[in-house]
Amino acid sequence: MKLNVFREQDEAYQLVGALDFSEVSLTFAYDPAYLASTTASAVSCSLPLRAEPFSQEEASPFFAGLAPEGDMRRLVAESIHSDYFGNMLARLNNESIGALIFSTDETVENDGGYTEIGLSELRALRDAPRETSFKMGMASRLSLAGAQSKVGLYHQGEDPSCGWYVPSGNAATTHIVKTPDSLFPLQTVNEALCLETAKRCGFDIAEWSLIPIEEGEPLLAVKRFDRVTDETVSAENKPLRPKRLHQEDFCQATGLMPDMKYEPTNGAYLSRCCNAIQNASANPFGDRACFLQTIYFDYLIGNCDNHLKNHSLLWDPSWKTPMLSPLYDITCTTVYPQIYLEMGVSLTPSRRICDVSEQDIERAGKDAGIPRTLARSFYQELLRNIVPALDAAEEAIASAGFATEAHEIAQHIRKELSQKVTLS
């Protein structure tokens, strides 16, 4: 099968190249006309501009990283009778992470639209997440990576309890809406609390809101930072079409398949990510420093799910300037005893969050290319700020109507913070 790859730029779709694949082989090649364009940019740090086609080994990490994971992947595989990511992209081709569209046609038009949904559909998403997210995802031809049940929706207005739309065609979404999981109680409140704590520690984060639904846990709506909407344009209360920005996670950027997202023994993922930042970012030192602080924050908040697909680079609208993306998918995982204590991007050779030492904090700074004194000051500042930030975040979640739930998670984090490394 041949899938043409388009990028969104300047409210149009430009042919970038083509994927040629079967169940046993795959190649990707940039289009000659695209390579000759003065505005051409690589779609991935791992796929630099060149005339020679990329092999299956070279191209698979980026494109496999756009396919769904977890229950959604299993359900799609059953539906299309194939677990191969190429076939999934052919079916879920309109709205993946980033700014690419896939089509068997030679051109792509700005078609599609939005259908408003109400409380009953949101309740179904909350109460039957697996089935409902699959149904919405297949209808909108939308592919979202990650194991948690989620769906991409368009939101209009300030009230998170209404104004939600399902896209059709290649209409873009504005939010990723995540569902609670009975295996991990209070998961949506947990993520909102951790994101808000990060924000109050000074990090740039993906904006969040909780969608309250009677008799149960809320949905979590996370605003997509790879979508932008011109709110100054009058649309007579009709949905405004968002523009796509390009994004890739660190599995894609460093040429690793999605199943390698968690650091193996001697994986050195912190160094791996910082090397990618150094080679790609418009602000290499600042982004390496920020990435180091993010991993310190993951340690302090108790987030072991900080794998390579939960850290990304984000391009500006010109496709010329990649920088570290806002923080997203941050959860205190240590509150759930069934989750492993090995961090996705680790600070210590054992990878276990409970084994981190003062020497590990300093070693991480060296691995990130940050001077020892500065790395120590980053950690000490976070250690000073995180409790007041957590207190303020708990108040913010309480004001959204989930005081008891936020307090339960916050108390667990506070207890663990008393056992974290303090630098001498």
For 352-406, the pLDDT digits (tens) are 999 999 999 999 999 999 999 999 999 999 999 999 999 999 999 999 999 999 9
Average pLDDT over residues 135-164: 80
Instruction: Tell me what pLDDT residue 70 has.
Output: 76
DSSP result, 272-286: HHHHHHHHH-SSHHH
Residue that the structure tokens 């969608």 belong to? 211
The CATH code of the domain at 247-417 is: 1.10.1070.20
Q: How far is CA 270 from CA 128, 175, 345, 361, in A?
A: 37, 29, 6, 12
Long-range contacts of 12-21 (CB under 8 A, 24+ apart): 12/110, 13/101, 13/107, 13/108, 13/109, 13/110, 15/106, 15/107, 16/43, 16/100, 17/43, 19/59, 19/63, 19/86, 19/89, 19/102, 21/84, 21/86
Contact 295, 364 (CB under 8 A): yes
H or E stretch covering 360: helix 358-367
H-assigned helices in 17-156: 32-36, 56-64, 70-80, 85-91, 119-127, 129-140
* 143 pLDDT higher than 70: no
- Looking at residue 418, the DSSP 8-state letter turns out to be T
Average pLDDT over residues 165-173: 88
* 235 pLDDT higher than 60: no
Token pair belonging to 239:
């949905």
Q: Which residues make beta-bridge pairs with 205?
A: 327
**Contacts for 224 with CB less than 8 Å, ≥ 6 apart:** 152, 173, 174, 175, 176, 206, 242
Q: How far is CA 208 from CA 77, 178, 199, 406, 416, in A?
A: 31, 11, 11, 15, 25
* 234 pLDDT higher than 60: no
Instruction: Tell me what pLDDT residue 420 has.
Output: 97
Model pTM? 0.93
pLDDT digits (tens, 9 = 90+) for 48-107: 999 999 999 999 999 999 988 777 778 777 887 777 777 788 777 678 888 999 988 888
Instruction: Tell me what pLDDT residue 147 has.
Output: 59
Residue that the structure tokens 């940019």 belong to? 41
Q: What whole-number distance in Å separates Cα of residue 8 and Cα of residue 272? A: 29
Q: What is the pLDDT confidence band of residue 144, given thresholds at 50, 70 and 90?
A: low
Q: Which residues of 168-201 are buried (b: 16+ CB within 10 A; e: fewer)?
A: eebbbbbbbbbbbbeebebbbbbbbbbbbbbbbb
- Looking at residue 335, the DSSP 8-state letter turns out to be G
Q: What is the pLDDT confidence band of residue 343, given thresholds at 50, 70 and 90?
A: very high
Q: What is the pLDDT confidence band of residue 224, given thresholds at 50, 70 and 90?
A: very high
Measured in residues, the chain has a length of 424
Q: What is the pLDDT confidence band of residue 44, given thresholds at 50, 70 and 90?
A: very high
Residue-range domain boundaries for the chain: 2-103, 113-244, 247-417
pLDDT digits (tens, 9 = 90+) for 185-202: 999 999 999 999 999 999
Q: Considering only 43-57, 111-125, 327-341, which range has the smallest mean pLDDT?
A: 111-125
